[in-house]
Amino acid sequence: MSKEANSPARNTKVMNRFDLTSRLVAKLKNEEAVIGGIGNTNFDLWAAGHRPQNFYMLGSMGLAFPIALGVALAQPQRRVFALEGDGSLLMQLGCLSTIATLAPKNLTMIVMDNGVYQITGAQPTPAAEVSDIVAIATGCGLANSAWAADEEDFERLVEQSLSGSGPTLIAVRIDEKPGVGATRRDPVQIRERFMLGLGVRQAL
């Protein structure tokens, strides 16, 4: 959440992660894959209603976009969404360049930016006061990167990404509220159900 005077983030509304995640999930009609990053990001994905095409991370902070890139490369006909926190993305900024180079058309990245590590006690990130996630993404070569001004704009950007000619990054400013739910921490079942949901596996 940049407070820099000339940042486009300055004029964006502070929204809520669970509300935005619910709006996204409501739009999914074609078995789109959704990768939920560590912590609150996947807690809210879980709380928005479990889908067979959801994958929930229980560690490996910063890897939501790389995991989503792998799914997008493996299944180019399926739309893949990735939900990541700003602190998590800061751990793995290099992946934005990798994604810009490979340029998968079917990948939409959403950055939930509250400028803090909410889950560890809301300490500010090193980027909080100075960095602009969209400017970083654009500089990495992701031309379709934008701040969502409000909820309506977020929904519009999500829909626009469905027919995008390259990867899309949507950044949203969010409040410091914790996640609404708590993902069941069963990694094998999460992975197996995701593979069933993607049509890779058949149930026993």
Partner 1 sequence: MAAAEGKTSFKSLDEKALDEKPSREKAWHEVVLQTLKRNDIRLVPYVPDRVLTTLIKNLHADPFFTTFPTAREEEAVGIVSGAWMGGVRGAVLMQTSGFATLANVLASLAIPYQIPLIMFVSERGTLGEFNYGQSLVCRTMRPVLDSLAMEHHTATRLDEFEFIVDRSIKQAITTQAPVALILSPLLTGGKVFDK
Task: Give whichever of 49 and 187 is closer to partner 1, judged by the CB atom.
Answer: 187
Locate the DSSP E strands across 45-197.
Answer: 54-56, 80-85, 107-113, 116-117, 123-124, 144-147, 168-173
Task: Give whichever of 18 and 194 is closer to partner 1, judged by the CB atom.
Answer: 194
Dist CA 190 CA 102 (whole Å): 27
Task: Give whichever of 22 and 92 is closer to partner 1, judged by the CB atom.
Answer: 92
Joined together, the tokens standing for residue 103 give 């340029």
Give the SS3 label for residue 163.
coil
Residue 6 DSSP code: T
Residues in touch with partner 1 (CB under 8 A): 33, 35, 55, 57-63, 65-75, 78, 92-95, 97-98, 101-102, 187-188, 190-191, 194-195, 198-200
Please report how close the Cβ of residue 135 comes to partner 1 at its closest, in angstroms.
Answer: 18
Of 71, 89, 84, 76, the residue nearest 33 (C-alpha): 71
Please report how close the Cβ of residue 189 comes to partner 1 at its closest, in angstroms.
Answer: 10
Please report how close the Cβ of residue 199 comes to partner 1 at its closest, in angstroms.
Answer: 8
Task: Give whichever of 139 and 175 is closer to partner 1, judged by the CB atom.
Answer: 139
Please report how close the Cβ of residue 10 comes to partner 1 at its closest, in angstroms.
Answer: 29
Please report how close the Cβ of residue 47 comes to partner 1 at its closest, in angstroms.
Answer: 21
Task: Give whichever of 19 and 192 is closer to partner 1, judged by the CB atom.
Answer: 192
Contact in structure between 36 and 64 (CB atoms under 8 Å): yes
CB-hemisphere CA count at 13 Å for 48? 27
